[in-house]
A = this chain, B = another copy of it.
Amino acid sequence: MDVLISEVGPRDGLQSIAPIMLKEDKMLWIRRAAAAGVREIEVGSFVPAKLLPQLADTAEIVTGAIEIPGLTVAALVPNARGAADAIAAGAHKITLPLSCSESHSLANLRRTHAQVLEEARAIAGMIRALPKERRPHFEGSLSTAFGCTIEGRVPEAQVAGLAEALMAAGCDEVGLADTTGYANPVAVRNMIAILWSAVGKDALTGIHLHNTRGLGLANALAAFDAGLTTFDSSLGGLGGCPFAPGASGNIVTEDLVFMFEAMGVRTGIDLDALFAIREIVANAVGGEPLYGFAPEAGLPKGFVQATQAKKDVHA
């Protein structure tokens, strides 16, 4: 495959919507996504159940999802305690968010940068203590990297400094996250160049984008052109802000996969099978709007996916 689409709907999509999805529905979604060719899914977050009832079953979901062959099961962890739970459940990848805006970090996680970095060091130590084959991949996510609603734009040098600090704390990788939809294609390209020069190309391969101001796919294109290869997205753009249809959710997996496949870039995901999952998810979150232009419009006449075309050639 040419790019890795990391489905974050079961975590980032669900966490902002009220109707609680049943564990069975989540597992059906995850299994169907994996069957459609999705190779990485962020299935939940190890936060206290009281804080986020929607994700209270994350440990059970991880336990179930790791049985699916070929699927990388990722989970978000707010701290070392969550990481311990994620490791115990068998997550293949754990992501610790660090908000580049310190005001946002305090408001959101109630932690300073120094405190989050301390958690990162604790998690890295925990992972090093594991036998090699049980060690999850550990990513530090640079959230609000392009700015936040409290501080506005975050200086690029600050983001680069935090990326270095996360790598020094023991992360395997950092990820770039436009939590608030402040990014634009030029900012994406600049930030990638700055981070690569700070931590090296191997330490930054992925980006997490929101479509808050409609630039989600343009930003994904800019990141792909710059050389990133992992893209977070959410089925149906789930988790969009209810006051403005489509206004705040993650970029839509279906549209993202359609864009890459149309461009000749293989995602490994079958679009028809992906589109078919929408009904399961829509039913399971009753009434919550699903977004996505490609699934509504349908594929262009005569459309052949890159994944399919190149598979045929080698068949």
A residues sitting closer than 8 Å to B (CB atoms) are 147-153, 180-182, 184-187, 211-215, 217-218, 220-222, 225, 241, 244-248, 252, 255, 258-259, 262-264, 292-294, 296-297, 300-303
With contact pairs A252-B214, A259-B218 given, residues A152 and B185 touching in the complex (Cβ less than 8 Å): no
> In the complex, what residues of B have CB within 8 A of residue A184's CB?
259, 262-263
In the bound complex, CA of A184 to CA of B218 (Å)? 11
- A213, A252, A297: which has the most chain B beta carbons within 10 Å? A213
Q: How far is the CB of A125 from chain B (nearest CB, A)?
A: 37
Q: Which residues of the other chain, B, contact A181 by a CB distance below 8 angstroms? A: 297, 300
CA A294 to CA B246, docked complex, whole Å? 11
Complex interface: chain B residues within 8 A of A220 (CB):
218
Question: Residues of B contacting A255 with CB < 8 Å?
Answer: 213-215
* Copies of this chain, count: 2
**With A222-B221, A297-B181, A300-B182 in contact, is A215–B262 under 8 Å at CB?**
yes
Q: Are A294 and B186 in contact (CB under 8 A)?
A: no
Are B259 and A215 in contact, with the CB atoms below 8 A? Answer: yes
Secondary structure dominating the interface of A: loop
- Which of B187, B212, B294, B297 contacts A297, CB < 8 Å? B212
- Bound CA span A181–B225, Å: 22
Q: How far is it, in angstroms, between the C-alpha of A196 and the C-alpha of B217 when the chains are bound? A: 26
Give chain B nearest CB distance to A309 CB in angstroms. Answer: 13
Chain B residue with minimal CB distance to A264? B186
The docked-state distance in angstroms from the alpha carbon of A144 to that of B217 is 22
Inter-chain CA distance A184–B264, complex, in Å, is 10
The 8 closest A-B pairs by CB, nearest first: A152-B302, A214-B293, A244-B296, A184-B262, A214-B255, A152-B301, A186-B263, A217-B218
Smallest Cβ distance from A247 to chain B, in angstroms? 5
CB distance from A25 to the nearest CB of B (A): 25
In the bound assembly, the distance between CA atoms of A217 and B294 in angstroms comes to: 14
Q: Can you report 22 residue pairs joining A to B where beta carbons are below 8 Å apart?
A: A152-B302, A152-B303, A181-B300, A184-B259, A185-B263, A186-B263, A212-B293, A212-B297, A213-B255, A213-B262, A213-B293, A213-B294, A214-B252, A214-B258, A214-B294, A221-B221, A245-B245, A245-B296, A246-B246, A247-B293, A247-B297, A248-B297
- Name the B residues within 8 Å of A187 (CB-CB): 262-263
Question: Knowing A186-B264, A221-B222, A302-B153 touch, does A244 contact B214 (C-beta < 8 A)?
Answer: no
Asked if B214 and A292 sit within 8 Å, CB to CB, the answer is yes
B residues near A213, Cβ cutoff 8 Å: 255, 258, 262, 293-294, 297, 300
The distance from the CB of A240 to the nearest CB of chain B, in whole angstroms, is 10
Among A211, A246, A302, the most chain B Cβ lie within 10 Å of the Cβ of A246
